[in-house]
Structure 1
């Protein structure tokens, strides 16, 4: 079976974690349902949709992609979607709408890749939307959805185009229900990336912290005191340093430079765009307190308890692993967060293995039914 996966490449290790998990689940499902059937993979970098065309993989500019992709489509140049038996949207925020004009129906990939290439030439082929999530203000209750009819129409169209949709946070489900549709919420597939790459949990050597300005990628107009979060992070660092070695996980050089503005002497781990090395790093952790939600998911997948402190509803997905999230402005007791996370160090591995076992069975059941 040939599968084309809409994801990112050399862009965000979190996307790599999610995709590795999906590939592993698909392979396991095929092995059970279609013995002898191999999975052939092609990855499309969604931020440059022209990468679906063979020979144009190196074009990373969205501006160039928007110029070249329609021409390539009109010329019917061989492409990954055209040759695929299965199209997969690999877990990411898929539902969002904000007053600043940022809305999911305006994304760069759905129209050229799904409408333009897949739905116009479906041929009975399958389309899976796996581990989709939301990206709203942290305390959103989804009541704002009524203000965005175009967003709701797009969400319904996207859902109706798919043979299987799974979601990774309850807020995404609330948003989808506002569009008159519903899908099951399951833990993000990133918890299976370590199985796909055969990386095992190791004895904990250090505590992992992760720092982002304001606590996340976006503020979405929420009142967030940057200096207050910096002070809280310094407090978290001081508290965890009393417990042992502390290392900051930095997904980019800019993130490393930023955390060292806040805590100049902090040890940092950085291997940009190498998700395998990041996974090996997380495998050796004790526990973590992080802003990046997929740093949290990878830690948890190895049985390392974590608290996620964030700014938007992506952080809520950690609840599916029995772990807490906090809105950055709601953090008033850093000591309690540290102590409660550390207290689960000895027992969390058993908890996550139970979750992983049940969730794996459900994913495989759904995939088998939809293939």
Structure 2
């Protein structure tokens, strides 16, 4: 059996959401290349120079950060010179895949991996190695959603990415609208994390949890929006007290910070902090519904047929719209509304499970067809 080497642009050792995205992509690629052995070359985009082997001279550029002044300028200059030596870890790959993530947001052209990873490596290799950007998303303030790229530098960066990639898929309608504005008619599909369960069966236990995934303020960033973090904490606390009279409630956490917050929020409730996709699916199998501030908690649960209400501060929420699940801006929520919605999800759990399971199977087939057709055309 021949080997195919695939480079992955991803995020490593941050939280379980990135792992679920990568697992979903792995299921797609395993089916596409079912007659070959896959060797992955994973690069953490938050450490963009890791695209080069440790002995590559470009790593000398990192010494610039120790300079008392001008370190950023010296680093960029040294990185550009080092990139001319080429020989990245991706150079010998047969395919490069960007694993689902926010790609478009205000000021995205300034991101740390834009130049050293995309421009200097992927841009150089794109003429001879196919590049895919799967499950690209948007992350704009919920109350300030653009219809086009308003920053010319962001627009140019997005156009470059679309130009490098033979295949781009997006996971939300705003990301699609922005790509459409640049003349790229890209397909919109659920995030690949939705494929992470690969049809794993649910736990048969009768008394399942309503899971709560809580973040302070309802999301990663406030984006200068008038978000009252104390109000959201109060909403979740009261909601837990109310639904806890009728249902088992557990707290689902994605990192240590959330684990500590969960203890302060509801010290008597069980907390779950899965450390691997397998552990996440084991927790998901004990759930019947959820309320999530992390979008990939909701998407990962949906992969197991568990419906969630998503609450957040930005357009990452639109990932759940793609799945047909309820989603709300944090400041537009109330205890009564969320309680009624959760009860509805529980009452219709079997319907939701079947709907999500069918959508997962359909989504996987669409991804496989897109990848296969792109590689053969």
Q: Is the 8 A contact 2:7 2:43 kept in 1?
A: yes
Q: Report if aligned partners of 2:88, 2:121 keep a CA contact under 8 Å in 1.
A: no
Tell me how large the CA RMSD over aligned residues is. 2.4
- Separation of aligned partners in 2, 1:275 and 1:71: 39
**1:230 matched to which residue of 2?**
233
Partner of 1:201: 202
Alignment of 1:119-268 (within 5 A): 119-143=123-147, 145=148, 147-195=150-198, 199-203=200-204, 205-268=208-271
The alpha-carbon deviation at position 263 of structure 1 amounts to: 2.5
For 1:4 and 1:152, the matched residues in 2 are separated by 26
SS of 1:185's partner is coil
Q: Could you list the per-position Cα deviations for residues 63-99 of structure 1 after superposition, in whole angstroms to 9, with x for gaps in the alignment?
A: 69957865754554x53211111111100000011xx
Structure 2 residue aligned with 1:6: 9
**Hey, what's the Cα distance between the residues in 2 that align with 1:122 and 1:363?**
21
| Alpha-carbon distance change, 152 to 185 in structure 1, aligned in 2, over 3 angstroms | same
Q: Deviations over 1:294-349 (max 9, x none)?
A: 10011111111111011111011112222110111000223222222222222211
Structure 1 unpaired stretches of 5+: 98-102
SS for the counterpart of 1:184 is: coil
- Aligned partner (choices 307, 319, 322) of residue 321 of structure 2: 319
Q: How many residues align?
A: 355
Tell me whether 1:52 sits opposite 2:51 in the alignment.
Answer: yes
**1:115 is matched with which residue?**
119
Instruction: Select which of 105, 112, 128 maps to 1:96.
Output: 105
* Kept after mapping to 2: 8 A contact 1:131/1:167: yes
Highest Rg: 1 or 2? 2
- CA–CA separation in structure 1 for the residues paired with 2:37 and 2:369: 19
SS where residue 345 of structure 2 aligns?
Answer: helix
Deviations 1:202-260 (A, max 9, x none): 23532210110110001111111112111110122123312322111111221122223
- For residue 56 of structure 1, report the CA deviation from its aligned partner: 7.2
State how far apart, in whole Å, the 2-side matches of 1:11 and 1:40 are. Answer: 22
C-alpha offsets along residues 16-56 of structure 1, whole Å, 9 cap, x if unaligned?
A: 1011111110111123xxxx322211110000012222347
Partner of 2:69: none
For 2:85 and 2:142, locate their aligned partners in 1 and report how far apart those are by CA, in whole Å: 45
**1:265-304 map, 5 Å:** 265-271=268-274, 273-304=275-306
**Contact conserved, 2:200 with 2:304, CA < 8 A, in 1?**
no
Correspondences of 1:329-340 after superposition (within 5 Å): 329-332=331-334, 333-340=337-344
Unpaired runs of at least 5, structure 2 = 67-71
1:123 Cα shift?
Answer: 4.9
- Are the aligned partners of 1:49 and 1:69 in contact in 2 as well (CA < 8 Å)? no
SS at match of 2:43: strand
Q: Distance in 2 between matches of 1:79 and 1:135?
A: 30
Q: Secondary structure at the match of 2:98?
A: strand
| Alpha-carbon distance change, 219 to 302 in structure 1, aligned in 2, over 3 angstroms | same
Structure-2 separation of matches of 1:56 and 1:235: 55
CA shift in 2, pair 1:139/1:354, >3 Å: farther
Deviation at 1:139, TM superposition (A): 3.9
- In structure 2, the CA distance between the partners of 1:338 and 1:105, relative to structure 1 (3 Å rule), is same
Contact 1:93-1:133 within 8 A present in 2 as well: yes
TM-score (norm 1): 0.88
CA distance in 1, matches of 2:93, 2:149: 36
Which position in structure 2 is the counterpart of 1:100?
Answer: none
What is the alpha-carbon distance in structure 2 between the residues aligned to residue 121 and residue 166 of structure 1? 20
Contact persistence 1:5–1:89 (CA under 8 A): yes
Please state whether the residue corresponding to 2:203 is helix, strand or coil.
coil
Question: Normalising by the residue count of structure 2, what TM-score does the alignment of the two structures yield?
Answer: 0.87
Secondary structure at the aligned position of 1:125 is classed as coil
